[in-house]
Amino acid sequence: MAMTSESGRLDFQSKLRSSRKITVLTGAGVSAESGIATFRRAGGFWRRYQAQDLASPEAWARDPGLVWEFYNHRRTASCNAMPNPAHRAIATLEARWRKAGGTFTLLTQNIDDLHEQAGSQSIVHLHGSIWHVRCVACGEVTPNRNIPITPAFAGSGSPDPAFRARHFAETDLPHCACGGVLRPHVVWFGEALESKHLIAAADAVNGCDVMLVVGTSAVVHPAAGFVTLAKRHGTNIAEVNIEASAVNDVCDWFFEGKAGDMLPLLLDIEPA
């Protein structure tokens, strides 16, 4: 749909103000202004790889050291990043709605914790967390903020295609107390999202008055499917993005621009 006009913005804000239940879906674009790379297009390259090609069980099976190097680099970027005005505007909206007795859920595809740092509370991390690891042998999930992930990865992870890559041996990888190799606790292509997250997302969509879709290309399922599901439930949907996403045609409003510029203005309202 075409970019929403000024009167459309007022229409959106009026609808939002009278909403009891709000659900927000975010993607990599919401963290872009915090310096965290997106997945697709030009911004999604790490060395000669497209980011989503490393976020796969096939890449892990082929070369877990390379995958850990990629995540080690992203952990460093996430550690150095700060929430931006978009994260803060979403957190403020939640606080206002909670105080007024409304319901608010943030569904994020992002594995960083910038939403939490901004103060968001009701968050569903659909694709996992960069700050957790999981044992491939016993399945135990543990928080882990080590940078580098093991001493062998010190100084590794440069995204520069000219970087002289080295091969990491099995002994260089992080290990669980049981002896199994640890992997990032994230959801790769072909892997199932945690059922508790799918249930929470379905609950958030069910009966929601307004859904806000921010900074996602909306090509990855099931996350993108929650937008079309909301539409089928009769929810009004607003998109904030620098370009139209794959779900743009089901949106009632399209606010074209950077999330950090648009959200503080759009969400500067109190519940009715």
Instruction: Using CB under 5 A, list all residues that contact Zn ion.
Output: 135, 137-138, 176, 178, 180
Query: Per CB under 6 A, does 190 bind ligand BJW?
Result: yes
242's contact among ligand BJW, Zn ion, none, with CB below 5 to 8 A by partner kind, is ligand BJW
Query: Per CB under 6 A, does 192 bind ligand BJW?
Result: yes
From the list 19, 21, 22, 29, which residue makes contact with ligand BJW (rule: CB under 6 A)? Answer: 29
263's contact among Zn ion, ligand BJW, none, with CB below 5 to 8 A by partner kind, is none
Judged by CB, which is closer to ligand BJW: 77, or 186? 186
CA proximity to 8, closest of 214, 258, 256, 271: 256
Query: Per CB under 6 A, does 141 bind ligand BJW?
Result: no
Query: Per CB under 6 A, does 207 bind ligand BJW?
Result: no
176's contact among Zn ion, ligand BJW, none, with CB below 5 to 8 A by partner kind, is Zn ion
Question: What residues contact 218, with CB distance under 8 A and at least 6 apart?
Answer: 27, 224, 227, 245, 246, 247
Q: In what order do the strands lie in the sheet with 141-143?
A: 141-143, 128-135, 182-186
Cβ at position 93, least distance to ligand BJW in Å: 16
Query: Per CB under 6 A, does 127 bind ligand BJW?
Result: yes
228's contact among ligand BJW, Zn ion, none, with CB below 5 to 8 A by partner kind, is none
1's contact among Zn ion, ligand BJW, none, with CB below 5 to 8 A by partner kind, is none
Mark residues 214-243: x for contact with ligand BJW by CB under 6 A, - for none.
-xxx-xxxx------------------xxx
Chain center to CA of 218: 11
Site for ligand BJW in 34-93 (CB under 6 A): 38-40, 44, 52, 55
Judged by CB, which is closer to ligand BJW: 95, or 242? 242
CA proximity to 87, closest of 138, 3, 24: 24
**Catalytic residue of the set 127, 132, 167, 197:** 127
**Strand pairing of 210-214 and 236-241?**
parallel
CA proximity to 70, closest of 85, 90, 51: 51
Length of the chain: 272
* Region binding ligand BJW by CB under 6 A among candidate stretches 10-18, 23-31, 144-152, 165-173: 23-31
Known catalytic residue at 127: yes
Binding interface with ligand BJW (CB under 6 A):
27-29, 32-33, 38-40, 44, 52, 55, 109, 111, 127, 186-192, 215-217, 219-222, 241-243, 245, 258-259
Catalytic residues, which ones?
127
